[in-house]
Each structure stands twice: as structure tokens, then as C-alpha cells.
């Protein structure tokens, strides 16, 4: 399907193979667009529906999902505002495309993974699961919510200079404290997305316990 600019986001939507399939919410990294993660989404879950918005913030002409002051220094007010916009987009897409947030899986890379993490921290019941590549702790939440229905895969780079290990482990710990089922995979490189990341995430999504939770 060609991109549309409905719901305040330019985005693309591809229907799933059948109604039993989940929907993947694909959230690109800085400089990406609504097409970037479609091939990875199809690798992760063949037959799933794909909902992929383009970030609305421009940094030197490159699309992002929220502003930052410098590398690794987020504009938290803008992040929280843009997270609310993303939640509104999901609400609209739920009505327009008939998706079910109980079977909605966020798949994000870098900037997209960070806004997905922010969505979890602020609105955990908008997702059933998440695959977050190179996510960091987006902000310190005022309270830890109930994440017990969530399964989260964190793909981190052991030599990543941006999503550094303490921040990744803080995010994992926060989600686990709220009851989330968290898997943490360490890629032996940096911020780049590797084929091992995708394979590990695909295998994780295929696990019986994950499929059972998503089918509930």
C-alpha cells in the first residue's frame, strides 16, 4: 500500500496474511522512513500486518520521532509530547485498520526503539510485546507501572557508544521490576543492526511462551 499522511503521520499499512496474525508497529531510526523496517518486519514474523509511520521531527533534514539537544541528550518534554502523538496514531489506526493492540508488537531501531520504550513507560497497555534494537533508557519514570502483560526483547551492541550498557540494563531492570518478561541479547558490535540481532529476535518471537502470550 502506498504511504498516506492520515492520522498526522505519513505511514504505510500492509494487511496480514489472515486475522490471526499480529500487527508489527515499525519505528525507524534517525534518517529512516516508513519503508526502512518493512523487510526486517517480514523476516521477524512472516504474514504479520505492518504499520509503519514516519517520524515527524526533522534533524538536519533527517526524520526522527522526537527532538534531542545533542547525541544522547533527549528533549524529554518533546519526547513525552511525541509519545502522546504516537499513542493517538495507534488509536486512529486501531479504528481504521481494525488492528488489536492486544496483538500489537512494536519493532524499533535506535530513535524508533527509544520512542517505543517511552510508549511502554507511559502507556504500557498500548502494546503486547516489543522488539527494541539499540534502545536506551529514554527517561526516569515517576513510577513503575504494571508491565506484567508485556514481553520485551532488547537487542544491544556490546560496543555501542550511544545505547551504552548501563542504560540498556537500567531499561531492562525497570521493565522487569514492573513484571515484564524481558530478554536481553548482546550483539558483539556497536550501534549497527546485525543479522544476528534479527535472527535472535525472530527466534525469540517464535518461542512457545511468546506465541501463547500473544494469542491470549
What is the rounded distance in angstroms from the CA atom of residue 119 to the CA atom of residue 82?
10
* More confident: 173 or 143: 173
Q: How far is CA 74 from CA 48, 66, 86, 125, in A?
A: 32, 8, 17, 24
Distance of alpha carbon 141 from alpha carbon 165, whole angstroms: 19
CB atoms within 10 A of CB 113: 29
Q: Cβ neighbours of residue 89 under 8 Å, at least 6 residues apart?
A: 7, 8, 9, 11, 53
Q: At what angle do helices 195-206 and 208-215 cross, to 10 degrees?
A: 60
Phi, psi of 55 (to 5 degrees): -60, 145
Q: Which residues are catalytic?
A: 110, 160, 191
3-state SS assignment for residue 89: helix
- R_g (Cα) of the chain, nearest Å: 16
Q: Tens digit of pLDDT for each residue in 34-79?
A: 999 999 999 999 999 999 999 999 999 999 999 999 988 999 999 9
> What is residue 6's predicted lDDT score, i.e. its pLDDT?
58
Domains of the chain, with CATH numbers? Answer: 6-215 (3.40.50.1820)
Round the average pLDDT of the chain to a whole number and report it: 94
Amino acid at each position: 500500500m502506498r504511504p498516506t499522511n492520515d492520522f498526522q503521520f505519513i505511514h504505510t499499512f500492509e494487511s496480514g496474511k489472515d486475522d490471526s496474525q499480529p500487527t508489527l508497529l515499525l519505528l525507524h531510526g534517525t534518517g529512516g522512513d516508513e519503508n526502512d523496517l518493512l523487510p526486517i518486519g517480514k523476516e521477524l514474523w512472516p504474514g504479520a500486518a505492518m504499520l509503519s509511520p514516519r517520524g515527524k521531527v526533522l534533524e538536519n533534514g533527517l526524520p526522527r520521532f522526537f527532538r534531542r539537544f545533542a547525541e544522547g541528550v533527549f528533549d524529554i518534554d518533546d519526547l513525552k509530547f511525541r509519545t502522546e502523538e504516537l499513542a493517538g496514531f495507534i488509536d486512529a489506526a486501531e479504528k481504521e485498520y481494525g488492528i488489536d493492540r492486544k496483538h500489537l508488537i512494536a519493532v524499533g531501531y535506535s530513535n524508533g526503539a527509544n520512542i517505543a520504550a517511552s510508549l511502554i513507560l507511559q502507556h504500557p497497555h498500548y502494546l503486547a510485546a516489543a522488539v527494541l534494537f539499540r534502545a536506551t533508557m529514554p527517561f526516569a519514570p515517576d513510577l513503575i507501572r504494571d508491565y506484567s502483560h508485556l514481553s520485551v526483547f532488547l537487542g544491544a551492541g556490546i560496543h555501542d557508544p550511544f545505547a551504552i550498557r548501563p542504560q540498556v540494563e537500567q531499561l531492562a531492570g525497570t521493565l522487569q521490576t514492573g513484571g515484564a518478561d524481558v530478554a536481553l541479547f548482546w550483539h558483539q558490535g556497536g550501534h549497527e543492526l546485525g543479522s544476528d540481532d534479527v535472527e535472535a529476535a525472530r527466534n525469540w518471537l517464535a518461542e512457545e511462551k511468546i506465541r501463547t502470550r500473544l494469542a491470549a
